[in-house]
Structure 1
Amino acid sequence: MRFHTRKWVKPEDLNPNRALFGGRLLQWIDEEIALYAIIQLEIPRTVTKYMSEIDFVSSAKEGDIIEIGIEVVSFGNSSITLKSEVRNKLTRKTIIEIDKIVMVSLDEDGKPVKHGKTKIEYVSDRLKDE
């Protein structure tokens, strides 16, 4: 799994227990997954369709740094399925794992559209085509 993004847990990210608010963490995960999917599929109208069970196994506190990891599971005709792990960079403890996140590419009318991708592309792959 590649860890693409780091976030610093600030006071505005905390719940009443002074730990990282789960809703904020899910917002960060959803945004990071969306950006990743849009870049991979090259279709800006790519949206979250499904997220599997969410189980918080540990937390983070103010001042901690967390990392969001993403791994591609599979490509569909109009979708990409990914998984994500978030861990505390300082303690190395896993905070949450999401086994299945499905992102779907849409056309201007909001209908699923084929993206034509079958494998992960890296910047170096795309530069070879130019």
Structure 2
Amino acid sequence: MRFHTRKWVKPEDLNANETLFGGKLLAWIDEEAALYSIIQLENNRVVTKYMSEINFMSSARKGDIIEIGIEVVKFGKTSLILNCEVRNKMTREPIITVDNIIMVNLGADGKPTPHGKTEIEFVKDRLDK
């Protein structure tokens, strides 16, 4: 799994237990999944359709640095299925896993549209073409 983004857990990210608020972490995951999908599908009209069971394994505290990892599970006709792991950057301890995140490619009309992609592409490879 490639870890693309790091976040620093700050006081405004905490819940009443002084640990990272789960809703904040899910928002970060959703944003990372969207950015990853937009880059892969080369379309800024991508939306989250589904997130599978979310497994909280440990917590993060103020001052921790976490990293968000995303990998492609499958390319669908109009979708991209991802999984995600968030871990503590320093200890590598897993914080959360999400097995399936379905992102849907939309056309200008706001409806699902085929993206034509079948494999992961890296931006550096697109620039070489």
Is 1:20 equivalent to 2:39 in the alignment? no
Distance 1:124 1:68 in 2: 21
Is 1:11 equivalent to 2:11 in the alignment? yes
Deviation >3 Å, runs of 4+: none
* TM-score, normalised with respect to structure 2: 0.97
Amino acid at match of 1:107: G
How far residue 127 of structure 1 moved from its aligned partner, in angstroms, is 1.6
Unaligned runs of 5+ in 1: none
Amino acid at match of 1:51: M
How far residue 108 of structure 1 moved from its aligned partner, in angstroms, is 2.2
What secondary structure is seen at the aligned counterpart in 2 of 1:55?
strand
Identity %: 71
How far residue 109 of structure 1 moved from its aligned partner, in angstroms, is 2.1
Distance 1:121 1:107 in 2: 21
How far residue 110 of structure 1 moved from its aligned partner, in angstroms, is 1.7
What secondary structure is seen at the aligned counterpart in 2 of 1:31?
helix
What secondary structure is seen at the aligned counterpart in 2 of 1:69?
strand
How far residue 8 of structure 1 moved from its aligned partner, in angstroms, is 0.2
Partner of 2:84: 84
Distance 1:42 1:16 in 2: 40
In the alignment of these two chains, the number of paired residues is 129
Is 1:39 equivalent to 2:39 in the alignment? yes
Unaligned runs of 5+ in 2: none
